[in-house]
Amino acid sequence: MPKVNFNIFLDFIRSKNPPLIGVDISASSVKLVELSQGAAGYVLERYVIETLPKDAFFDGNINNLDALAETLQRAWKRLGTKIKNISVALPAASVISKKILLPAGMQDDDLEFQVESEANQYIPFALDEVNLDFYVLGAAPGNVEEVEVLLAASRKANVEDRVAAAQAAGLKVVVVDVEPYASETAFSQIRAQLPSNAEDKCVALIDIGATVMNVNVLRNGLSIYTRDQQIGGEQLTQQIQNLFGLSAEQAETAKRNGNLPENYETDLLIPFRENLVMEIVRSLQFFFTASQYNEVDYIVLAGGSAVLPELADAVATRTQVNTMVANPFALMTMASRLKARQLQADAPALIVACGLAMRRFDPS
């Protein structure tokens, strides 16, 4: 049996607690967030969003390592920090995760060996081709003689490409997380903004990225359902390009700044928004069908497209569910150098980067 590499490169739960920057690499940009901790809690020190060249990163895979490295380097310089340790995340589609039951009270070496043995049943690759990690969740429900263990594995290439891009940018990857787990970490800051911390309530965290919309339903801070839909803000950007004869960069800038011709709203924005709302409704219907629940109590919109004009109101009207736009920094102290109005616009897109930055303070 090949020796499994239990190392930092898929350390999505066992943080080494170093000073680090959270780095979210998406199809359209890289986002960097630096947090510190003060007497009143977290402090947002710095953040940067740097546009990524088109097609440098697609479907969770790095297509142009040099372009990504150059973008990372520019973003880090703009950030103005001295910290070079970073945490990054893999998309859920690149990670195989499984909860397994093992005997309680095992020593660490025995536990690692047992996890390795169990992994063979669930991973369709040779174990020397993957990075593997695990975390003991706690006592198994209804059986104190067993523990529940979360096992996660990813092809080494998925991890190594991110590490190589970071190294080329002069940075060092110290933690590799999984995007939904990073969002759940940041969600703790959003949950605290909801009445009674949304205790025993279902909250749909809907992250609308450039090409994919991720729906993650959480209850008491834990994910109970997740689904990806192939829709995102890039579709609207492409429509703007086609209608107004703009480049991809010009279309994205115009979309963000709102300086488009009068017919943009009627011809493009309203139809796109209506389609997005229908996809959200459809995703919630899938959740109701697949679970014991028949309603959600809150909807939280995240991702770059969450700030589309009147989207939150349209979702609330169509679903009849309280809907808010995510701001994981709302309860944090903000460094004086930052602009509150700009942060308000950028915050929904920073939820994964925020969760990655919070790994700095993970006590595990």
Instruction: Say how many C-beta atoms besides its own lie within 10 A of residue 315's C-beta.
Output: 24
The CB density around residue 291, as the number of other CB atoms within 10 Å, is 13
What DSSP string runs through 166-181?
Answer: HHHTT-EEEEEEEHHH
Q: 141 in helix, strand or coil?
A: coil
Q: Where do we find the tokens 């920090």?
A: 81
Three-state DSSP class for residue 338: coil
CATH number corresponding to 94-155: 3.30.1490.300
Q: Which residues neighbour 175 within 8 Å (Cβ) at sequence distance 6 or greater?
A: 8, 11, 12, 15, 16, 20, 87, 88, 356, 359
Q: Cα–Cα distances in Å, from 122 out to 9, 78, 97, 138?
A: 20, 42, 9, 21
**CA angle, 211 as apex, 257 and 327 as ends, to 5°?**
55
Tens-digit pLDDT profile for the chain (364 aa)?
Answer: 233 333 444 454 455 567 899 999 988 899 999 999 988 899 999 999 999 887 888 777 888 899 999 999 999 999 999 999 999 999 888 888 888 888 988 888 888 888 888 888 888 877 788 888 888 888 888 888 888 888 888 888 888 999 999 999 999 999 898 898 899 999 999 999 999 999 999 999 999 998 889 999 999 988 899 999 999 999 999 999 999 999 888 888 888 887 889 899 999 999 999 999 999 999 999 999 999 999 999 999 999 999 999 999 999 999 999 999 999 999 999 999 999 999 999 999 999 999 999 999 876 5
Q: Please count the residues of the chain.
A: 364
In whole angstroms, what is the distance from residue 260 CA to residue 242 CA? 13
* Contacts of residue 343, Cβ cutoff 8 Å, sequence gap at least 6: 44, 47, 329, 334
Domain with CATH 3.30.420.40 in the chain: 1-93+156-193+327-364, 195-325
Q: Which element (helix H / strand E) includes 219?
A: strand 213-219
Query: What angle do the packed helices 270-290 and 311-319 form, to 10 degrees?
Result: 40
Look at the domain 1-93+156-193+327-364 and name its fold. Nucleotidyltransferase; domain 5 (3.30.420)
Return the closest-CA partner of residue 179 out of 324, 4, 361, 354. 354
- CATH number belonging to domain 195-325: 3.30.420.40
Q: Which two tokens stand for residue 77?
A: 């310089």
What are the residues whose beta carbons fall under 8 Å from the beta carbon of 357, sequence distance 6 or more? 20, 21, 22, 33, 34, 35, 87
Cα–Cα distance between 74 and 136 in angstroms, integer?
A: 38
